[in-house]
Amino acid sequence: MGEIYGGHLAARYLKEVEGVDTVFTLSGGHIQRILDGFNDYSIRAIDVRHEQAAAMMAHAWSIYTGKPGVCLVTAGPGFTNSLTGVVNAYLDNAPLVVLSGRSPLRDDLKGSLQEMNQVDMIKPVVKWCGTCYETKRIPEYLAIAFTHAVEGRPGPVFLELPPDILNVKVAEESACIPVRASRKFKFHPDDEALKAAAALIDRAEKPVFVGGSGVLFSRCEVALAAFLEKTGMPFQLLNHSRGVLPDDHPLSIAEGGFTGIMLALTQADLIVSAGVRFNWQFQFGTLFPKAKLVRIDIDPCEIDRNRCADVGLCGDVGSVLTHLTPLVKKAEHSRWLTDLRQAGQAFNASELKLRETVSHPIHPIRLVAQLQKAVGEDA
């Protein structure tokens, strides 16, 4: 085997181990060797005009492919320009991998070009951050970064790759390249918690299921459909989970919009929430003080946040539903579902009228409705 530049070693890991074929970037001197490596390993570099766009595009890529999005930025202003996008991914729980140049290690504290303490600046808004100090360890550090991005609650990670490790050649056999991509381990609650949740579900007369982005990250459409169809539970999917099941599903109350789900929550006697935060949109959990709550989340810190759960099920949403569904009884709540749909339609009557009313200039609601018809359900 021959020798390989550190930058090419990074590109090799991205392509051969993680299967990355697209990276969002804005070229810069500190990261040039990685960009050169992209040519060797057929990685498409989408070059943007501002690093914020690179981070946000990689964020979106991660949401809709189910794989970590990768952005590559140069040192100093390239790094700082990306911060808004990184914070957005952090608040959105998106598995974003940010690779950044930095000033050379040999010139630390000398006032090198674009020298700054990037790691401490970004630390509060990422799951993990670090600096690689040795060329042959680049694959090892990349593996650590990707693992942190996807494991447990997803989120952004940050890795600095200095030019004086990227521009150095090492023997290929000296670089330990992992043989498989980073994996997301799935876990589920203990049997007693699952049985307690099933008992609440079986007793409920007006249950509602509300799902958030954690449903999408779990890629659990089969398990979700099986659970809902067995329990007969009206549901609405919000945030990035919108579309995991179609809005016209027989149990969906999506037509009522956010107003409809708020109405449902205030009238429900049981709420099953999955991968959703009770933040300002839900008035911090104060909308449904009397309803029983079964809360599913991969992050244990979310289980009792803002509203204590009657039963907390900590784990991957799909795994939890797979284990919960056999424990619940077959049920139907057709009268409750009809009531919710009628109430939602009443709230939205004025909007529905505007969708069909011709006016000059066109009303924004009618414009959006016509666009929806034109682009189709899968857009």
Ranges 153-157, 186-190, 236-240, 252-256: which has the least confidence: 186-190
Q: Are residues 300 and 371 in the same domain?
A: no
**Is the residue at 83 inside a domain?**
yes
**Is the residue at 185 inside a domain?**
no
Q: What is the pLDDT of residue 98?
A: 98
Q: Are residues 328 and 373 in the same domain?
A: no
pLDDT at residue 64 above 90?
no
pLDDT at residue 279 above 70?
yes
Of 42 and 243, the one with more pLDDT: 42
CATH code at position 279: 3.40.50.1220
**Is the residue at 294 inside a domain?**
yes
**Is the residue at 219 inside a domain?**
yes
Q: Are residues 332 and 376 in the same domain?
A: no
Domain end position, chosen among 142, 174, 206: 174
Q: Are residues 22 and 132 in the same domain?
A: yes
Q: Are residues 157 and 226 in the same domain?
A: no
**Is the residue at 211 inside a domain?**
yes
Q: Are residues 38 and 118 in the same domain?
A: yes
CB-based contacts of 335, cutoff 8 Å, min separation 6: none
Distance, CA of 238 to CA of 241 (rounded, Å): 6
Q: What is the mean pLDDT of residues 115-126?
A: 92
**Is the residue at 186 inside a domain?**
no
Averaged confidence pLDDT in the chain: 90
Report long-range pairs for 124-127 (Cβ below 8 Å, ≥24 apart): 125/83, 125/86, 125/87, 125/90, 125/156, 126/86, 126/90, 126/98, 126/155, 126/156, 126/157, 126/158, 127/90, 127/153, 127/155, 127/156, 127/157
Per the structure, the complete domain to which residue 136 belongs is given by 3-174
Domain end position, chosen among 143, 174, 205: 174
Q: Are residues 128 and 9 in the same domain?
A: yes
Q: Are residues 309 and 355 in the same domain?
A: no
Strand pairing partners for 293? 271
pLDDT at residue 225 above 80?
yes
Q: Are residues 146 and 35 in the same domain?
A: yes
Number of domains present in the structure of the chain: 3
Q: What is the pLDDT of residue 177?
A: 77
CB-based contacts of 21, cutoff 8 Å, min separation 6: 15, 42, 43, 44
3-class DSSP state of 332: coil
pLDDT at residue 254 above 90?
no
Q: What is the pLDDT of residue 183?
A: 64
Q: Are residues 378 and 313 in the same domain?
A: no
The CA-CA-CA angle for residues 330, 230, 290, to 5°, reads 85
pLDDT digits (tens, 9 = 90+) for 130-188: 999 999 999 999 999 999 999 888 999 999 999 999 999 988 888 877 766 666 667 77
CB-based contacts of 305, cutoff 8 Å, min separation 6: 277, 278
pTM of the model: 0.83
pLDDT at residue 108 above 90?
no
Q: What is the mean pLDDT of residues 24-53?
A: 94
Ranges 187-201, 204-218, 336-350: which has the least confidence: 336-350
**Is the residue at 179 inside a domain?**
no
pLDDT digits (tens, 9 = 90+) for 329-367: 999 999 999 988 888 777 777 777 778 888 889 998 889
CB-based contacts of 270, cutoff 8 Å, min separation 6: 200, 201, 203, 204, 206, 207, 208, 291, 292, 293, 294
Distance, CA of 372 to CA of 367 (rounded, Å): 9
**Is the residue at 183 inside a domain?**
no
